[in-house]
Amino acid sequence: GAVVSQHPSRVICKSGTSVKIECRSLDFQATTMFWYRQFPKKSLMLMATSNEGSKATYEQGVEKDKFLINHASLTLSTLTVTSAHPEDSSFYICSARPRDRGPYEQYFGPGTRLTVT
């Protein structure tokens, strides 16, 4: 149980275009989902926290107009990178917190590698 999927696993897009990444909790309902960014050989950096039905909370330094997060249902959150640039290339990971679990529970997706050319 507690499986989180991400789609796509890899995506290449051209500079200036937008790309959407989906994060789904497959066998549980997630009231909260987190989006992280991981640079090569670096740690995970929390980008934003999204709660179902409400606006995402962005970490300091993260452009909310560039990284649009939508948490439309208890099983789906999306991250849209708008007007992508090569510096947006990175590994993006989501995690989901089950609805009826403690605050420390989170399950990670397998990640999405974004390459902007």
Partner 1 sequence: AQTVTQSQPEMSVQEAETVTLSCTYDTSENNYYLFWYKQPPSRQMILVIRQEAYKQQNATENRFSVNFQKAAKSFSLKISDSQLGDTAMYFCAFMNFNKFYFGSGTKLNVKP
Task: Give the length of the chain.
Answer: 117
Dihedral angle computed from the Cα positions of residues 51, 57, 59 and 65, in that order, rounded to the nearest 10 degrees: 120
Should residue 111 be labelled a site residue for partner 1 when binding is judged by CB under 8 A?
A: yes
Should residue 40 be labelled a site residue for partner 1 when binding is judged by CB under 8 A?
A: no
Q: Which of 25, 32, 75, 78 binds partner 1 (CB under 8 A)?
A: 32
Site string for partner 1, 78-97 (x = CB under 8 A): -------------x-x-x--
Should residue 61 be labelled a site residue for partner 1 when binding is judged by CB under 8 A?
A: no
Shortest Å distance, C-beta 104 to partner 1: 4
> Closer to partner 1 at the Cβ: 51 or 82?
51
Residue 103: closest CA among 51, 26, 54, 40 = 51
Q: Point out which residues bind partner 1 (CB under 8 A).
A: 32, 34, 41-46, 49, 91, 93, 95, 103-104, 106, 108, 110-111
